[in-house]
């Protein structure tokens, strides 16, 4: 039995949704999703209430891996400043990949333009959790205004990712000095 046959219809749909919506956008049709997954539309609608729910489930399915790749382990013993810089190092590495089109969670929010959409809600939560990580590290590192610093860091993160995603710029050699300037200005240790 092949690996493809062993994967469930649900797993294949989640993978197809993740791949196609990242590559082609959230406007991808149900027919294309089902064809890529090798699943009938009937089966898709038995598994997911709608394409919107499939997209949300696909993002949810990717969230843990995204966080695990991006964030340092909670108990790694590094100071908060280094933990924040780690996130930006990860972004720089990801952005260097030829298939990088920006943060999938930001892209979905921009494309959908509807904060109430199920996929937008998942994406918003993931981005809010990243901002909360920055805020917590800023507090622990003695930043003068942890909330402001967290907002500045997420702005740099999203902006750098978006510019790299559209191939307008690369964060290499640019992002670390920018983040370091913010951390220094906030009095981060």
Summarised one tens digit per residue, pLDDT across range 95-106 is: 999 999 999 999
Asked whether residue 79 falls in the same domain as residue 121, the answer is: yes
**Residues of the domain holding 24:** 1-48
**Band of residue 31 on the pLDDT scale cut at 50, 70, 90:** very high
Asked whether residue 61 falls in the same domain as residue 149, the answer is: yes
Tokens 């979905």, located at residue: 108
Burial class (CB in 10 A: 0-12, 13-18, 19+), 13: buried
Cα–Cα dist 4/86, whole Å = 35
pLDDT at 75: 87
Dihedral over Cα of 53, 55, 61, 63: its sign: negative
Number of domains in the chain: 2
CATH number, position 2? 1.10.10
CATH number, position 96? 1.10.357.10
Q: Which residues neighbour 102 within 8 Å (Cβ) at sequence distance 6 or greater?
A: 161, 162, 164, 165, 166
Q: Contact 149/84 with Cβ under 8 angstroms? A: no
Whether residue 3 is predicted with pLDDT greater than 60 in this model: the reply is no
pLDDT at 1: 42
pLDDT at 7: 80
Reported as a single tens digit per residue, the pLDDT across 87-141 is: 999 999 999 999 999 999 999 999 999 999 999 999 999 999 999 999 999 999 9
Reported as a single tens digit per residue, the pLDDT across 172-182 is: 899 999 999 99
pTM above 0.85, yes or no: yes
Asked whether residue 80 falls in the same domain as residue 38, the answer is: no
Token pair recorded at residue 72 = 């340092």
Asked whether residue 15 falls in the same domain as residue 59, the answer is: no
Asked whether residue 40 falls in the same domain as residue 63, the answer is: no
């Amino acid at each position: 039995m092949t690996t493809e046959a062993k994967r469930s219809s649900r797993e294949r749909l989640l993978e197809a949704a993740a791949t196609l919506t990242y590559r082609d956008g959230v406007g991808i049709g149900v027919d294309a999703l089902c064809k890529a997954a090798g699943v009938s539309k009937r089966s898709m609608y038995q598994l997911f209430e709608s394409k919107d729910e499939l997209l949300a489930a696909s993002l949810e399915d990717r969230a843990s891996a995204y966080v695990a790749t991006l964030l340092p382990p909670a108990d790694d013993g590094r100071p908060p400043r280094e933990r924040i810089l780690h996130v930006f190092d990860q972004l720089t590495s990801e952005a260097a990949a030829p298939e990088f089109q920006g943060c999938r969670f930001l892209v979905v929010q921009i494309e959908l333009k509807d904060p109430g959409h199920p996929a937008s809600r998942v994406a918003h939560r993931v981005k809010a959790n990243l901002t909360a990580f920055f805020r917590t590290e800023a507090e622990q590192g003695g930043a003068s205004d942890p909330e402001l610093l967290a907002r500045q860091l997420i702005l740099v993160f999203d902006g750098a990712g978006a510019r790299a995603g559209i191939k307008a710029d690369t964060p290499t050699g640019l992002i670390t000095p920018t983040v370091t300037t913010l951390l220094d200005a906030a009095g981060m240790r």
